[in-house]
Amino acid sequence: MKKILIIGNSLSAWSVASAFINKKVNITIIGKKNNTFGAQQLSPNGFRALKKIIQNGDVKNIVYEIIKFQINSYNNNETKNLKNFYFNEFDLKYFSVSREMLINFLIKNVKNNIQINEIDKSCVGIIHREPGKLEVLTDNNEYISADIIIGCDGVNGITRKYVCGTTNIVKKQVFRGISNDKKKILLNQKTLELNFSIYGHFVSYPFVNNNKTYINYVFIPNRLFQNSNEILDKLKSISKFSQIDWNDGHFYIYEDEIQTIHKNNVLLFGDAGFSFEPHLAQVGNNIIEDASYLKFLVENTNSYDEIFENFSRNTCEKKRKLKSISNIVGITFGISTLTKLRNSLVSNFSDQLMSNFFKKIWYD
Ligand SMILES: Cc1cc2nc3c(=O)[nH]c(=O)nc-3n(C[C@H](O)[C@H](O)[C@H](O)COP(=O)(O)OP(=O)(O)OC[C@H]3O[C@@H](n4cnc5c(N)ncnc54)[C@H](O)[C@@H]3O)c2cc1C
């Protein structure tokens, strides 16, 4: 029986483990559990893929449907509505999902179907002793052998370094917050809201966590305010968002062009393999989609070399496209000059144009 070692203990790790629920394999997950926080958007591709990797569970029980996408510009404490888009008018289903519930749902799915070993340790190195024989060294000096390693250890993990060597990583600041103010209009209208401001852009939407409804907020400072000492004060001065308890965080982007995501039976998955700007809300959705594709390959291909080769080729090509689109979208969201022109363009987007754009991202 193949011995598969998954390094990491977050969304990617449990999504990948779900890809093997119908196979006779020996799986070990090694990594420390993180505190999960807030929510993520679940676009139609992520929702579809999630249904495919879940064996006997109703995905609908953990998601919250979003019906409207509203784009505003926010200036001098005044909101100006630029565009409203209703997903159901184009037969599109859009959701939000609590990260905690999503990961717990995946864990339950895996454990209900296969025996899994869990090791609450960090890995410090990968050793390739001979062809087909891998070993991982843990932080308590233990060696764990494996036939296959799947790296789900994020942007700064050890598997990325093993497969790709040194990678140039760009670190960008992001602020997140959640609120449980029930009166919030977003909640009533099941709305995903995007607000442009002179400091950067805000994304907010409702989600449900253990029967309670919250609003998830993300603020991405634009280029002028990235890593500025004043940005928290600026955020507090914006009345619409001043009540949020903002948490400072980062996201990371690989500067280098993606070439390959596997070497010597070590496969990179999720942020360890690809990372791009979050403006399309596709990084996490693509993790679930990739797990569904990997599940298909695992169940329909005999050789692991072939699985890795197909998986690497097809996912790299897709991520290259998403990366460049997301980059352009991020520049547009974050511009500090010509904002009137951007706002006027957005106001004049037709519903059909937006639907075509979304379908390109979610269905291509
Ligand atoms: C602002 C923002 C908003 C986002 N919104 C969305 C959204 O709406 N929709 C969406 O689809 N996606 C979204 N994303 C993207 C998504 O959240 C991430 O892509 C996803 O969480 C990455 O998961 P991962 O498991 O690959 O990596 P991580 O979450 O980074 O997990 C890595 C895991 O590996 C472990 N680890 C690290 N090093 C080691 C080691 N040496 N040994 C063992 N374990 C190790 C860590 O402890 C952790 O458990 C957003 C991201 C950002 C920044």
Domain ranges of the chain: 3-363
- Indicate the Cα dihedral angle 44, 46, 47, 51, nearest 10°: 140
CATH code of the region 3-363: 3.50.50.60
> For residue 196, which of 105, 54, 74 has the smallest C-alpha distance?
74
CB of 168 closer than 8 Å to CB of 159: no
Cβ 326 under 6 angstroms from ligand 1? no
Backbone angles phi, psi at 25, to 5 degrees: -135, 160
Q: Are 271 and 12 in contact (CB under 8 A)?
A: yes
DSSP label at 74?
E
Whether 176 contacts 196, CB under 8 Å: no
170 residue type, one letter:
V
Structure tokens at 242: 């001043």
Instruction: With H, G, I as helix, E, B as strand and everything else as coil, classify residue 12.
Output: helix
Q: Is 285 in the pocket of ligand 1 (CB under 6 A)?
A: yes
Q: 85: Cβ–Cβ under 8 A, 6 or more apart, which residues?
A: 68, 69, 70, 71, 351, 354, 355
- Residue length of the chain: 364
Q: 207: part of which helix (H) or strand (E)?
A: strand 200-209
Q: Is 218 in the pocket of ligand 1 (CB under 6 A)?
A: yes
Q: Which helix (H) or strand (E) holds 232?
A: helix 231-237
Ligand 1 touching residue 18 (CB < 6 A): no
For 149, the 3-state DSSP assignment is strand
Q: Tell me, in angstroms, the distance from the centre of ligand 1 to residue 290's CA.
A: 14
33 CA distance to ligand 1 middle (Å): 12
Q: Is 289 in the pocket of ligand 1 (CB under 6 A)?
A: no
Q: Are strands 63-66 and 39-42 parallel, antiparallel or unpaired?
A: unpaired
What's the confidence (pLDDT) of residue 182? 67
To test ligand 1's pocket by mutation, which of 30, 36, 40, 66 has the most ligand atoms within 8 angstroms of CB?
40
The Cα 317–Cα 33 span in angstroms is 31
Q: Please name the amino acid found at residue 57.
A: G
40 CB neighbour count, 10 Å cutoff: 24
Q: Name the residue type at position 290.
A: D
Which among 248, 212, 221, 287 is positioned nearest to 41, based on CA atoms?
287
For residues 311 and 267, give the distance between their C-alpha atoms in angstroms, rounded to a whole number: 9
Residue 63 · residue 95 · CB < 8 Å:
yes
Which of 153, 161, 268 has most ligand 1 atoms within 8 Å of its beta carbon, as the pocket-test mutant? 153
DSSP 51-75: HHH-SS--GGGTEEEE-EEEEEEEE
- In degrees and rounded to multiples of 5, residue 275 shows phi and psi of -150, 130
Q: Which is the closest atom of ligand 1 to the Cα of 284?
A: 11
Whole-angstrom distance between the N-terminal and C-terminal Cα of the chain? 36
- 205-240 tens-digit pLDDT: 999 999 999 999 999 999 999 988 899 988 888 888
Parts of the chain with a pLDDT under 70: 182-188
Cα–Cα dist 354/82, whole Å = 13
Q: Tell me, what's the pLDDT at 186?
A: 60
Nearest residue CA, atom 11 of ligand 1? 284
pLDDT of residue 187: 63
284 Cβ closer than 6 Å to some ligand 1 atom:
yes
Per-position DSSP letters for 249-264, written without gaps between them: EEEEEE-SPP--SEET
Atom of ligand 1 nearest to the CA of 13: 25
Closest-CA residue to 274 (of 322, 327, 331): 322
Picking from 292, 287, 265, 280, the residue whose alpha carbon sits closest to that of residue 325 is: 280
Using an 8 Å Cβ cutoff, are 62 and 98 in contact?
yes
Find out whether 140 and 180 touch, Cβ atoms under 8 Å: no
Distance (Å) from CA 10 to ligand 1 centroid:
7
Residue 276 near ligand 1, beta carbon < 6 Å = no
CB of 273 closer than 6 angstroms to any ligand 1 atom? no
* Ligand 1, atom 16, residue with closest C-alpha: 284
List, in order, residues 6 or more apart from 201 with CB less than 8 Å away: 194, 195, 219, 220, 222, 333, 334
Whether ligand 1 lies within 6 angstroms of the CB of 40 is answered as yes
Question: Model's pTM, two decimal places?
Answer: 0.95
Tokens of 194: 């995007």
For the record, the structure tokens of 38 come out as: 């807030």
Give 152 Cα–ligand 1 centroid separation in angstroms: 9
- Ligand 1: distance of its center to the CA of 11 in Å? 6
